[in-house]
Structure 1
Amino acid sequence: MELWYCRVCGLDYDESPWGPDGHSPDYSTCACCGVVFGYDDYTPNSARGYRAQWLAAGAVWFYPNMKPQNWQMNTQLQQVPARYH
């Protein structure tokens, strides 16, 4: 199974919210950082800006009930696609 990683926080997903072509966002929300795919992460700079705000606010999970018990923020952040670092 191929995984897709959030451009802001690196959370893994089974399917890309950017569609099969990588250019058609579904405007869903990341469970971890709360980014709206296709809006807040449309460009590398917008993803970086959103990440900086999310981290400055304490990297709080958008849907806290979905946060893994042993969540490792730094490990997850390493999964952010290189173009969006």
Structure 2
Amino acid sequence: MEVWYCRVCGLDYDESPWGPDGHTPDFSTCACCGVEFGYQDYTPDSARAYRAQWLAAGAAWFYPNMKPHNWQPGAQLPQVPAGYH
């Protein structure tokens, strides 16, 4: 099974919200950072800008009830896809 990672925060997903072709977003929301796939992460620059805002605001989980116990953003951020760092 292929794993897909959020372009903003690096959260792993079983399925790409950018569709099988990698170019057709479903406009769902990342459970961690709250990015709307296809909107705030459409370009590397927009993903970086959203990440900077999210981190500056404290890197709070968008859906806090889904936050893993002892979660650390520093362990997840390296999973951001190449080109979106």
Give TM-score, length-normalised by structure 1.
Answer: 0.98
Give the total of aligned pairs: 85
- Aligned twin of 2:77: 77
The question of 1:21 aligning with 2:18 is answered no
Please list every run of 5 or more consecutive structure 2 residues that lacks an aligned counterpart in the other structure: none
SS at match of 2:45: helix
- Aligned twin of 1:5: 5
Q: Deviations over 1:10-35 (max 9, x none)?
A: 00000000000000000000000000
Within 2, Cα distance between the matches of 1:18 and 1:82?
16
Give TM-score, length-normalised by structure 2.
Answer: 0.98
- Aligned twin of 1:33: 33
Within 1, Cα distance between the matches of 2:16 and 2:44?
16
Within 1, Cα distance between the matches of 2:52 and 2:2?
27
Within 1, Cα distance between the matches of 2:7 and 2:53?
14
Q: Deviations over 1:27-80 (max 9, x none)?
A: 000000000000000000000000000000000000000000021210100000
Please list every run of 5 or more consecutive structure 1 residues that lacks an aligned counterpart in the other structure: none
- Aligned twin of 1:67: 67
